[in-house]
C-alpha cells in the first residue's frame, strides 16, 4: 500500500517549461534551440542547480558564452525574466491538499538552486510537505540515484510504499530503475487518474460550478406567448 507521494517542484508544483517560454518570446525555432543551450540546457545551469556554482557565477559564464555566440541581449533578457514561469499550479496544490487530508505523506525531490528554493519555500503550499531533498544541498542532480537514495534514507521511506512524480522522462525512469513507482506528470487531471490506477483514490481537481439557470415560471392561463 502506498503511503508516500514525492513531488518534483519545477514543472509539477510550480510552472517551469523553458521550451514553451522561449517559443512564446522568440518565434524562431533555430534561435530558440541556441538560446536553450546557452541557458536552461547549459552545464552552468546544471551546476547552479546542484549548488556547485552561485547564480552570479553561472550567469556570468552564460553571458560570456552568449557574447561569443552573438546572443548577449537575448540571454540577458531571459536571465532577467525567467522566474516569471514559476507560478504555483493551483490544480496540483488541490491534489496535494486532498492527499494530505487522506493521510498520505508528501515530500519534494527537485533539481533547484538555493535561492529559488528559498523563494518557493515562501509559498502557501509549502507546509503540505513533510520534508524533501534539493539538488543544491547534495551537489548532485536527478537523475543520479544518489539523490533518490538520500531521500529514502533521510525519511525512512520504503520503495514499495512510495510514488514519485516528475515531468522529465529521464527522472521518471531513474526512479523506476530504483524500484520506486513513478508517474510522468502531464497535468493535474492526468495525475489524479494515474494515482487512481495505483490505488490512490482522489476526488480530483474541482471544476468551478456554473451559475444555475433561473427556474422558469409557469405560464399563466391568459399570458401572451413570447415571440
- Whether 226 has a pLDDT exceeding 70, the answer reads no
Please compute the mean of the pLDDT values over residues 151-156 and round it to a whole number: 98
| pLDDT of res. 209 | 46
Q: How many CB atoms lie within 10 A of CB 136?
A: 22
- Whether 220 has a pLDDT exceeding 50, the answer reads no
* Strands 162-166 and 4-7, bridge-based pairing: parallel
- Whether 95 has a pLDDT exceeding 50, the answer reads yes
Region at 179 (left for phi over 0; alpha for psi -120 to 50; beta for the rest): left
Are 179 and 90 contained in the same domain?
Answer: yes
pLDDT digits (tens, 9 = 90+) for 197-218: 999 988 645 554 444 444 444 4
Total domains in the chain come to 2
- Whether 99 has a pLDDT exceeding 70, the answer reads yes
pLDDT digits (tens, 9 = 90+) for 27-46: 999 999 999 999 999 999 99
Q: Which three cell numbers stand for residue 113?
A: 538552486
Share of the chain above pLDDT 90, in %: 88
The CA-atom distances, in angstroms, between 216 and each of 122, 210, 212, 213, 219 are 49, 18, 12, 9, 9
Are 111 and 138 contained in the same domain?
Answer: yes
| pLDDT of res. 201 | 87
The upper half-sphere exposure of residue 188, i.e. CA atoms within 13 Å in the direction of its Cβ, equals 21
Domain-embedded: residue 115? yes
Are 110 and 179 contained in the same domain?
Answer: yes
User: Mean pLDDT across the chain, nearest whole number?
Assistant: 91
Domain-embedded: residue 222? no
Are 44 and 102 contained in the same domain?
Answer: no
Least confident of 80-84, 152-156, 220-224: 220-224
| pLDDT of res. 72 | 97
| pLDDT of res. 104 | 97
Are 95 and 176 contained in the same domain?
Answer: yes
Are 24 and 135 contained in the same domain?
Answer: no
Are 9 and 109 contained in the same domain?
Answer: yes
| pLDDT of res. 202 | 86
Angle among Cα 88, 89, 91 to the nearest 5 degrees reads: 145
pLDDT digits (tens, 9 = 90+) for 108-136: 999 999 999 999 999 999 999 999 999 99
Report if pTM > 0.85.
yes
Are 153 and 186 contained in the same domain?
Answer: yes
Domain-embedded: residue 51? yes
Are 125 and 181 contained in the same domain?
Answer: yes
Range of the domain at 65: 18-85
Amino acid at each position: 500500500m502506498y503511503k508516500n507521494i514525492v513531488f518534483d517542484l519545477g514543472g509539477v508544483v510550480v510552472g517551469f517549461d523553458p521550451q514553451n517560454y522561449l517559443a512564446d518570446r522568440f518565434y524562431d525555432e533555430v534561435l530558440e534551440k541556441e538560446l536553450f543551450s546557452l541557458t536552461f540546457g547549459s552545464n552552468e545551469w546544471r551546476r547552479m542547480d546542484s549548488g556547485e556554482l552561485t547564480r552570479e557565477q553561472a550567469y556570468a559564464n552564460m553571458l560570456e558564452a552568449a557574447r561569443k555566440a552573438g546572443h548577449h541581449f537575448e540571454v540577458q533578457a531571459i536571465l532577467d525574466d525567467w522566474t516569471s514561469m514559476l507560478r504555483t499550479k493551483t490544480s496540483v496544490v488541490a491534489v496535494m491538499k486532498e492527499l494530505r487530508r487522506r493521510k498520505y505523506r508528501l515530500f519534494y525531490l527537485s533539481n533547484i538552486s538555493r535561492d529559488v528554493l528559498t523563494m518557493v519555500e515562501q509559498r502557501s503550499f509549502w507546509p503540505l510537505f513533510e520534508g524533501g531533498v534539493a539538488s543544491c544541498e547534495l551537489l548532485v542532480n536527478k537523475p543520479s540515484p544518489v539523490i533518490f537514495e538520500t531521500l529514502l534514507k533521510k525519511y525512512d521511506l520504503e520503495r514499495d510504499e512510495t510514488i514519485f512524480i516528475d515531468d522529465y522522462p529521464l527522472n521518471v525512469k531513474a526512479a523506476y530503475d530504483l524500484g520506486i513507482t513513478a508517474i510522468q506528470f502531464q497535468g493535474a487531471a492526468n495525475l489524479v487518474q494515474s494515482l487512481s490506477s495505483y490505488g490512490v483514490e482522489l476526488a480530483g481537481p474541482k471544476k468551478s460550478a456554473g451559475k444555475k439557470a433561473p427556474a422558469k415560471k409557469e405560464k399563466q392561463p391568459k399570458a401572451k406567448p413570447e415571440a
